[in-house]
Structure 1
């Protein structure tokens, strides 16, 4: 556990960019007024658990230790801060979102093949501190009402069911973004760590078209190159890679090459840049500067109108819970040793969600215009949501 001294010493959102007072004031105003959207939010991050009183942490440990299933243990940890808020014991999770300046985050909504298997409504969407948003208009309203909005997405570790009505049922519960594959190959198409780059199957094409008809964003973040290109070819609406990086800047399986980035932008779509150190750089001192480098690379290639934020990091669970889930030995997730994923490494300048202002500050320090900064923070995402979801 982090020491109390180190917790007090850290100043979230204050990475040193060497900015002038005028630049700091401008960045603060932009971040405060913008609709700040994290397209692939992992909530607050692992550090939040160090800030709860020991008595509450004991409750978390007891809940986790009651299960031997790594996926259930992870889910317990992710939901626990919200349970503490709903029970009135600690609203820390919402305090951190406010400190981050976040307007809109995301949550997972699974797709079940069996219509009798219920889709869990997210209990922490209480309407007062956080509420479900499904359209651009609802996102703007949440910002105006000073409520955190959350939209539903799905990253399927298994194949999307052949019965497309399963997607429809999830849509009716709020699903608005669907990633076609995770890392491995499924009946939909090939993931980005798969041996073969096979592209979309016939079923995958059907999934894309069904999403278009429903008003669900087609996402390609973990998809292989050909699957990404096929999605852009067959989709009649904007396509996203809501949490990725630029392979042209740093070669990694989770990044998108220039052809894929251009294809996504060509649909009117969006590339969300993530904060996962291993996907951005092989430096032994990864920092938010590397994340900003990828933002600038993609903006230079396809225009800032197609860039957004999808941090995907750090994950909201104690490190000891994360290790087995994202280990290369876990075949379910498709990560390999060469992917170099390390749940114990964060970017200097992005250690938890409260560092979101560093993205704004970094773009201002690099000379970005107000229009471009506000667009990357949220307006570009709002455009895509309006085009696909309404």
Structure 2
């Protein structure tokens, strides 16, 4: 039976070559961004049920669940916590806590299959147990509601990164695109306070969605490695959503990593080749210690057809092998680079 996700891939198949699957067994992938908990909060989406792949033109969600993460050799998933109805300014912290509650419930249902983690050691321990490690990251400092104390509350509940921006301005910064866009303005005074407090708490600063000025401001003051959880790169495709080589160098110089998104709109084409092209550009510009995976699954995107759900990730590994990436480079972008950034932003004892 043909899969609705893409031609030539039967439903329920094990995807990827034996070589690719063996690579995932040795280096279970870490994906830096999926918005699945948003759907759990809204419609009761069950992370433990294997869902059928969605139709291509309706594939704004339904890409991730624990069975398909395991099938695809994904050892750890960062779940993005989305708070922002455009224009709303209060009640956003509560929305984040509700999504964390959804993850906590899912972990209680099957702690042998899904475990909530904060540290690199816990990610590795989950892999040894054969469980999927779940990490949390907030998408947009709107969730702080202008109060730095909110960040402490979120960190205590296990949040490991804070995306400073989303699709509208907030008290910390301005978006690359969206409501309140102001390209000439960087981090606000509150934004600088947020970056400093993130580093004190071991919360990774995520630079997805923020405007270029704010992005470089955050890098200039950083003492810990940041990340860009889900993005494309301008050197591979010109789009407002993508970051340029100076931004790549700013993150790489700090020991950070850059997760490549799986959305054709930002990649410049459908299929695996555009994903490989963006990853290759990062390697060519700043080396093999920077690229990572940032799917944006379940985030109101239609993913590239070959990566329309988590089970298909080994297909990308095959494309990387065919594209000349070495095993060392692939293991770094699948897992090691993200794991290093987690480790280099230690959670206080």
Range into which the TM-score falls when normalised by the shorter chain: 0.7 to 0.9
Q: Does 1:182 align with 2:182?
A: no
Matched with 2:182 is: 196
Of stretches 179-188 and 105-114 in structure 1, the one that deviates more from structure 2 is 105-114
Q: Does 1:355 align with 2:312?
A: yes
Aligned mate of 2:281, from 270, 277, 297: 297
Distance in 2 of aligned mates of 1:74 and 1:147: 20
Matched with 2:221 is: 234
Pairs within 5 Å for 1:1-390 = 6=3, 10-11=9-10, 14=15, 24-43=17-36, 75-77=41-43, 79-82=44-47, 93-109=65-81, 119-120=97-98, 121=101, 122=103, 123-126=105-108, 127-156=111-140, 158=142, 160-194=144-178, 195-197=181-183, 198-281=185-268, 283=269, 286-313=270-297, 315=298, 343=301, 345-389=302-346
Displacement of 1:346 in angstroms is: 3.2
1:103-149: CA deviation from partner (whole Å, max 9, x where unpaired): 00022447898899592322102322101110000000000000011
SS class of match (1:80): coil
SS class of match (1:248): coil
SS class of match (2:32): coil
User: Does the 8 A contact of 2:174 with 2:214 survive in 1?
Assistant: yes
User: Does the 8 A contact of 1:43 with 1:105 survive in 2?
Assistant: no
SS class of match (2:140): coil
1:2-53: CA deviation from partner (whole Å, max 9, x where unpaired): xx654596346757xxxxxxxx443231122112100112459xxxxxxxxx
Distance in 2 of aligned mates of 1:353 and 1:165: 35
SS class of match (2:306): coil
Matched with 1:20 is: none
Displacement of 1:205 in angstroms is: 0.3
User: Does the 8 A contact of 1:159 with 1:181 survive in 2?
Assistant: no
SS class of match (1:151): strand
Change (3 A) 1:253 1:13: farther
User: Does the 8 A contact of 2:49 with 2:66 survive in 1?
Assistant: no
The alignment's C-alpha RMSD in Å is 2.8
Structure 2 length-normalised TM = 0.82
User: Does the 8 A contact of 2:164 with 2:210 survive in 1?
Assistant: yes
Displacement of 1:168 in angstroms is: 0.3
Displacement of 1:352 in angstroms is: 1.2
Stretches of structure 1 lacking an aligned partner (at least 5 in a row): 16-23, 45-70, 86-91, 317-321, 323-342
User: Does the 8 A contact of 1:35 with 1:140 survive in 2?
Assistant: no
1:148-193: CA deviation from partner (whole Å, max 9, x where unpaired): 1100100127363332111000100000100001122222111110
SS class of match (1:200): coil
Matched with 1:329 is: none
Matched length: 315
Of stretches 368-377 and 24-33 in structure 1, the one that deviates more from structure 2 is 24-33
SS class of match (2:42): helix
Quick check: which has more Rg, 1 or 2?
1
SS class of match (1:39): strand
Change (3 A) 1:249 1:143: same
SS class of match (1:124): helix
Of stretches 190-199 and 257-266 in structure 1, the one that deviates more from structure 2 is 190-199
